[in-house]
Structure 1
């Protein structure tokens, strides 16, 4: 069974999306969260149970209110998910894992080159972030992603599928320049420029100091 107290010592995952002991040992040092609530009381739920509950929602796609009862209450899980998003905990965890992977592969801890691409995904939910990608004939959303040369995520932006690659490219390139100042070279495919419109390339070079190279 999953733990329902504050204990962090759990032997093995309680469901497919749960952390293994090996995964938890990697993530635990990266969580700068004290086990005390406001006022000095001991927290009721430990960090590992919080993560297992959040990952259950992310991996299964279920609603927060449909969390299994052997995990933590859905409102508490959502509250911690939001807190860690706002205080940058998720970014710190991923950034440190990426740094360790790059060092383990014999690379510099921070990247100097990257790859940009976009992918349209079908969605059924409405809202302003849903549109039609005429090129891919897909109704939904589009994720604009920049990864390092190992394929590890650097920055991402989600828009309506109707947003062109060049427009979304400006958004993620600007985020890249603000977050990873060491990156000065980015590979892209032909969707980001053509023989008539090369404004994205010149803008990235002049405004951000990033050279965008078109692939074949």
Structure 2
């Protein structure tokens, strides 16, 4: 099978076939595969970088989350969240300053930390080297969460964050 979901290799789907879209969501759309009516890929990437740096992408995420919550019948701002992390191997091309070795899982890579509301909608994402302890990475994430979403009152975390993060949060964020 190839990327055309449900078709044997060699039998391509029609250009407008929407069954390719789920794979684009999962894998992302390579800049080289942009639609022909888009500007050149360096221009598109330049806009993406500027918008990300200026916080525009975060504002869009927050607006969409509030809208979805309202459509679900929930208040626009949740007051409870969940924080979790996942270790991911990094390629050798990833800079050494942004990756590290985690002896627990034997992974040389990065760790992504995600804070979601109780409906699973994201509020915040951050990336750290795997070698950084969850409690310390949690401090960074919770500090940003407090700045960006002061309405959040409760954060659930797993044991990896531990008592050190809880003690720090009680003294530093209250």
- Of residues 20, 45, 57, the one that matches 1:78 is 45
- Asked if residue 109 in structure 1 is aligned to residue 76 in structure 2, the reply is yes
- C-alpha distance in 1, partners of 2:122/2:44? 25
- C-alpha distance in 2, partners of 1:108/1:140? 38
TM-aligned CA distance change 1:92 to 1:203, over 3 Å? same
- Of residues 177, 180, 183, the one that matches 2:152 is 183
Contact 1:67 1:73 in 2 (8 A): no
Give the TM-score, by structure 1 length.
Answer: 0.64
Give the TM-score, by structure 2 length.
Answer: 0.78
Match of 2:94 in 1: 126
Q: How many residues align?
A: 154
TM-aligned CA distance change 1:106 to 1:139, over 3 Å? same
Q: Deviation at 1:172? A: 0.2
- Of residues 198, 205, 210, the one that matches 2:170 is 205
Give ranges in structure 1 of 5+ residues lacking alignment.
1-11, 19-54, 210-216
Q: Deviation at 1:89? A: 2.1
Give ranges in structure 2 of 5+ residues lacking alignment.
1-15
- C-alpha distance in 2, partners of 1:68/1:102? 31
Contact 1:17 1:59 in 2 (8 A): no
RMSD between aligned residues: 2.5
